[in-house]
Every structure is written in structure tokens, then in C-alpha cells.
Amino acid sequence: MNLYELTIEEASTQLASGKITSLDLTNSVLERIENIDGKIKAYLKVLKDESTEQAKMSDERRASGKTLGPLDGIPICLKDLICLKGCETTASSNILKGFVPPYDSTVANKLKKAGAVIIGKTNCDAFAHGSSTENSDFFVTKNPWDLEKIPGGSSGGSAAATSADECIGAIGTDTGGSIRQPASLCGVVGLKPTYGRVSRYGVVAMASSLDVVGPIVKSVKDSAMVLEAIAGKDELDSTTLDVEVPKYSELIKKVTKIRVGIPKEYFAEGTDKDVLEEINKSIEILKDAGAEIVDISLPSTDYAISLYYIIQPAEVSSNLAKYDGIRFGYSTLRDDSNQTLEDVYFNSRGTGFGSEAKRRIMLGSYVLSAGYYDAYYRKAMKLRTLVIKDFEKAFEKVDVILGPVSPTPAFKIGEKTDDPVQMYLSDIFTAPINPAGVPAMSLPVGFVKRDGKDLPVGLQLIAPMLGEQIIFDTAYTIEQALNLNKKPQL
């Protein structure tokens, strides 16, 4: 096995035993990126010199008995929404091109304190607006399983890099499925933690009441290890929860007598039959393990995607107002100093924002405007309460909810770009989770054949607030039974 193929758990074990060094591991990943990223285009920036230096420092710590923890020396990449001191952070948008943050996000800071090697910044839909990574203002990332297919979005670069072994682990963000959907389509593990479990300080905001930061990795244990490192209360983010972070990875065990909810709305007509077939195999695995399978209903599912695409653009329109061509990032003022202030605003935003960002700004401004606020935004907030209550009622009957992540496997690049509504419907099973604030995971459970290629299928596990441990345990039970070891051929 090549070093770049290792999971975080495997790499950490080999580093601890002295079998490999962080420099060996980092060089292996850097060489892998150099060899294949021309095909995948997962990375916006590879930090070759910086990561090599970090790896050497990790090896020195280990040699002197001062290892910082299980992530020490592990190469991890960051979605380009996550600020890294001294490294250009663009959110894959032209309007932030050239912005170099003078500080670390809390997530980057925690990874550094854990000794992780930050290997680069990955591509995404600009400002995380999308489900395919086709909305990046720079280039489209490809799915490692079929280079003609999308990797999902918006964390498509992080998912593709993990799937193609261009990192040992990655960090993404999830506002309506942006960790889980690309993880599903690329055949890796993606966790959306409980809202407030991980700090958003220093993360470029999309929709602040929905955004969550989480890991995209190669195994369930890896997911637990990363969450342990990045979770916790942060004085710089008032939405973070003041709750102790368990040692998830040490507590993971196979489940037996748990109640697994199967929402009828997630298995209705419209979901690819081959996708459901793979998911049903995992339901049987849990049955065999002793789980009770309970049919449940989440009645607000039909409205959840609609309320999501009202609340999210409303918050987007507010968050993107700060990009005015004056303070940071792209500005037409540099090219023409004979502009009025209004000209600078209009010209910079008109040129700097892509079509999807403009679409969401307009939608958000519309639903917040006088005369429409009550009809749209206020009604959406009431529906959000119904979504939360739906999940609360469901979790009175079951311990965890199981369903598909995406209604289809990865689709062709360009297939849905002319129809934004069809693109938005890619999030139909993931978007309801974010307004509810509960944790959810995408776990690879099989493959379907499309155009002669194997495409991954992900299963979604949803738990009550702060229920990450039951997700890890349930996912681990399925993962161990399936023992999937297929890799994309690149």
C-alpha cells in the first residue's frame, strides 16, 4: 500500500510506531497531488514548502517525545472557505481573489495545535453556492470515479481530494448538504456535526444559522478523530456549545439493540432504484446486528427544500453585502480611479460575483424586502420550527434515522447547469437537516454502474442534537460489515 492511501488511524499508528515519518507521508501525498491533480483539479493551492516544513517539525516533536496527539504529522487539506494565516483564501470567488487573511480560523488553529500538516486549499462552489463544484469561479473539479461526472458540492474539492488519496483527510463546510452530498458521490465519509459543535470563526460565511464545519475522511474512525480535534466551545464564536467533547474514537463500538427510523418520505418515488437497493443492504446489516427497524414519517420534508431556499438566500444576501470592492479582495478601483463610490460598488460586485452568487443575492433581497418579508421569510421561519419538531418527535421513537444522501449517483458535468431548480433538488434529503441543527453523516455503502463506471452510493445517518456518538457507532457497524475497499482507477 502506498502511504497516501492510508487512513488517518492507520497513518497515526504507523507514525507512533516509528514505521514511517511525517515527512515520508507528506512527500507521498505531495507526489500524488503532482501526479494526478491535473485530472481531478481538487486543489486551488498546494502548500508544498509550508507542509514539508510542518512535517519536519512534527518528526522533531515525535523524536523528542513531545507529540501533540493522534493527528500530529497527518496531511489535511482545507476547503477554501476556511481562513489560513498568510494563505490566499478566496472561497473560490473572483471577488475575494488576492485576499490573504492575517489570522487563522479557529478550525485551522486547532488543527495546527493538534500537529496536523496543512497541505493545501481545495476548490468549491464559490461561497459554497452549489451542489456540483461547477460554480467555482476558477475551474470545475472532477469526480475521481468518472472524470466526466461532478464530485458534488459545495465541498467537492475536499471530497475529491480525499477519494483520490490526495490527502489523508480534509475539512469541509455544510450548509444544506455540502459535506454529505460530495462525500456520498465520491465514496468517502462526511460528517455534518451538530450546529455549534465546531467553531465557524474565520470561515467565510454563507448562511450563518445553517453553516457547519466538519471532516471529510476515509473511515468512520477518522471522522471521530478529527471531530475530537476541532470541536468545542470558542469565545470567538458565540454560537458554539459549551459542552464537553467526548473521546469519540475511543468510545466507538458496534451497535446491537438500537431503534433505526426509516422515513417514508426519503424512500418515495423519485429516488434512483439502484441507490435504494444499496441502502437497503445496510438496513439488513443493522437488522442482523439486532437493530429494530421502525417506519417513521417526517411530514415537513416536502416543504424543507423550499424553506431552505428562502432562509439560505436571505442570509446569503446579508453576508455578501460586505464584499463591496473597498475593503478587501477584488476591486475595479485599482483599474479606474475615476469612479464614484457607487460605481465601485456596482462594478466590483458585478464583475466579482458569479451568476449563482448574484442569483442568491437577488432571491434573498427579494424575500426580505418590504411587502414580501411576511409572505416568504417569516413563513419559512415558521416552517423551520415544524421541521425541528418533526425531528424531535421522530427521535422520541428512534435512536437514529437512516436514508439516502442524494436521490441519484453523480451526474455529468454540465447536465444541470442550465436548470438551477433541478440542481437545488440534489439537496432534497440533506437540506432539511441544517435548519433542524442535528448531526448527520454520509457513509459509503456501495456502487452503481453508470456509463460503464462504478459510482459510489452514500447512506445518510441522522441523530438528535449532540448525537454524534450514535452516528459513529451505527456507521462503524455498517462499515465493518461491508468492508468496502474499492478505489477509483486513476
Tens of pLDDT, residues 174-220: 999 999 999 999 999 999 999 999 999 999 999 999 999 999 999 99
Position 336 scores a pLDDT of: 67
Please compute the mean of the pLDDT values over residues 392-414 and round it to a whole number: 97
Catalytic entry in 41, 51, 58, 79: 79
Q: For 338-362, write each residue's pLDDT tens digit.
A: 788 888 888 889 989 999 999 999 9
pLDDT of res. 329: 76
SS3 43: strand
455: helix, strand or coil: strand
Q: Which three cell numbers stand for residue 215?
A: 471532516
pLDDT tens sequence across 287-342: 999 999 999 999 999 889 899 999 999 999 999 999 988 877 787 776 667 788 88
Picking from 2-16, 280-294, 341-355, 440-454, which range would have the lowest pLDDT averaged per residue?
341-355
- Count Cβ atoms below 10 Å from residue 388 Cβ, excluding itself: 17
Residue 135, phi then psi, degrees to nearest 5: -90, 5
Contact assessment for residue 402 and residue 443, using Cβ atoms and an 8 Å cutoff: no
What does the buried/exposed string (b/e) look like for 180-194 if buried means 16 or more CB atoms within 10 Å of the residue's CB? bbbbbbbbbbbbbbb
- Band of residue 25 on the pLDDT scale cut at 50, 70, 90: very high
Q: Which among 89, 159, 161 has a CA at the least distance from the CA of 126?
A: 89
Please report the pLDDT score of residue 19 as a whole number.
98
Average pLDDT of the segment spanning 143-154: 98
What is the mean pLDDT of the segment spanning 59-77? 98
131 in catalytic set = no
Q: What is the mean pLDDT of residues 27-31?
A: 98
Length of the chain: 490
Rounded to the nearest integer, the mean pLDDT of the chain is 95
The enclosing H or E element of 474 equals: helix 468-482
- Please report, for residues 168, 211, 226, 460, the alpha-carbon distance to residue 215 in angstroms, rounded to integers and kept in the order given: 11, 14, 6, 15
223-274 pLDDT, tens digit per residue, is 999 999 999 999 999 999 999 999 999 999 999 999 999 999 999 888 999 9
Half-sphere exposure of 256 (CA within 13 A, CB side): 0
152 with 158: CB under 8 angstroms?
no
Measure Cα distances from 302 to 265, 433, 437 in Å.
Answer: 8, 13, 18
CB atoms within 10 A of CB 198: 32
Which of 28, 178, 219, 223 does the annotation list as catalytic?
A: 178
In the chain, domain spans: 3-260+398-482, 301-381
Report whether pLDDT(79) > 80.
yes
Whether residue 314 contacts residue 364, with contact meaning beta carbons closer than 8 Å, is answered with yes
Buried b or exposed e, range 345-357, using 16+ CB within 10 angstroms:
bebbbeebbbebb
Is the peptide bond preceding residue 154 cis, with omega within 30 degrees of 0?
yes
The percentage of the chain sitting over the pLDDT mark of 90, rounded to a whole number, equals 89
* 178 is annotated as an active-site residue: yes
Q: What is the pLDDT of residues 111-128, one digit of tens each?
A: 999 999 999 999 999 999
> Is 79 annotated in the active site?
yes
Strands in 73-127 per DSSP E: 75-79, 117-122
Rounded to 5 degrees, what are φ and ψ at 270?
115, -20
Tell me yes or no: is domain 3-260+398-482 CATH 3.90.1300.10: yes
According to DSSP, the β-strands at 169-174 and 212-217 are antiparallel
Instruction: Determine the 3-state secondary structure of 117 from DSSP.
Output: strand
Mean pLDDT of 459-465: 98
Residue 377 burial (C-beta neighbours within 10 Å; 0-12, 13-18, 19+): buried
pLDDT of 397 higher than 90: yes
Torsion 134-140-145-147 (CA) sign = positive
Indicate if the pLDDT at residue 170 is higher than 90: yes
Specify the residue for cell string 467565510.
204
